[in-house]
Amino acid sequence: MQKHDPANHLRHSVRRAALRAALSASRVVCNQANSTRLATRTAAEWNYTRPALPHTLRFFSQTVRKAYENRELEQAQRKDEENFEKQAAADAREDVEESVAQTEADIQEAMQEVSPSSSEEPGSPSSSEEPRPAPVQNSVFVRNLVFEVTEEHLQKAFSKYGEVASTFIARDPRGLSKGFGFVTFTTPEAVETACSQVNGSFWHGRRITCVRRTQPAPAGVKKPAKSPPGPTAQLFIGNIPYETTDAELNRLFRGIENLRDVRVAVDRTTGWPRGFAHADFTSIEAAIEAKKRLEGTMLGNRLLRVDFATGYQRRSRSPPQQQPVEDAETEQ
């Protein structure tokens, strides 16, 4: 049996205490080192994120500048839209004035061709006696008709506005429609209804003019000339077929010298041609030569009407002088 040695037991106790002390000290040193590294890393990260603040400021600065540029762009677009609306309104006023002048000219010319003393109008009841025309105040003038429309078509189309007494479509010597005519009702109320319902409406793709028929000039009274008293540097070309293409117009004016500009009148709503055009030349002499060359020209199956014209000028940037609006000719 081994004998217990107190000294040996004391040495072992001291060793264990020293070992525990050493282990406890190293753990404390390790924790302090980890804490130091964590604090150092946190401070480094904080110092690293500080330079991001100027980028944020630049972002907001660019946003403000971009918003200011967008506001300037919107103001410029709004100004352009206002200018476009003003320009469109001015163009619309010019188109209305030209359309009114053309309608008045058409009516006056039609009155000269078809007077109340003329022979019986097609579509009116036949009689063994001398035909008596219906009262002028109960008739309407209808313009911008397609060439295929007949008196029967007018009778059927206008009968819903009142009882139709007669219809008439103006034709050239070959029997081709000139694109306008008259409808005579039995009552003035039907005339008012037809004018209010038909005028400005569309029929077969064309904007129809329907106005009250006016009293023609007395027999023997010569209608006032619509052409200028002398030659000008501008020509009016009327009676152009509605189905004329750009290629046909180019061939029409091919070889004509000193031609500055050609404007074909079109309906602003439908884009359909209105049957006439204006041609500007560099001089009066050039316009005279062009008139001689174009007179007697057939375009399609229609004879062109060529005359001097004034008063219709393309708008320029400089304020133009006030000139009377030209009485536009009828499409014949």
Burial of 231 (0-12, 13-18, 19+ CB in 10 A): middle
Question: What's the whole-model pTM score?
Answer: 0.39
Q: Return the closest-CA partner of residue 274 out of 321, 314, 222, 237.
A: 237
Burial of 116 (0-12, 13-18, 19+ CB in 10 A): middle
pLDDT of 13 above 50? yes
pLDDT of 222 above 50? no
At residue 264, the pLDDT reads: 85
Segment 320-330, tens digit of pLDDT: 444 443 443 44
Over residues 291-318, mean pLDDT: 76
Residue 243: band (very low, low, confident or very high) from pLDDT cuts 50, 70, 90: confident
CB 140 within 8 A of CB 189: no
Segment 283-304, tens digit of pLDDT: 999 999 999 999 988 888 888 8
Query: What does the alpha-carbon distance between residue 23 and residue 17 come to, in Å, rounded to a whole number?
Result: 10
Query: What does the alpha-carbon distance between residue 119 and residue 58 come to, in Å, rounded to a whole number?
Result: 89
The residues with which 182 forms a beta bridge, in sequence order, are 141, 168
At residue 303, the pLDDT reads: 87
The residues with which 278 forms a beta bridge, in sequence order, are 236, 263
Query: What does the alpha-carbon distance between residue 283 and residue 259 come to, in Å, rounded to a whole number?
Result: 9
pLDDT of 142 above 60? yes
Instruction: Kindly state the percentage of the chain with pLDDT values over 90.
Output: 12
At residue 177, the pLDDT reads: 84
Domains, the chain, with CATH or none: 136-212 (3.30.70.330), 234-308 (3.30.70.330)
At residue 132, the pLDDT reads: 44
Q: Return the closest-CA partner of residue 306 out of 274, 271, 332, 273.
A: 332
Segment 153-207, tens digit of pLDDT: 999 999 999 999 999 988 876 778 888 889 999 998 999 999 999 998 888 888 8
pLDDT of 211 above 80? yes
Segment 114-127, tens digit of pLDDT: 443 343 444 444 44
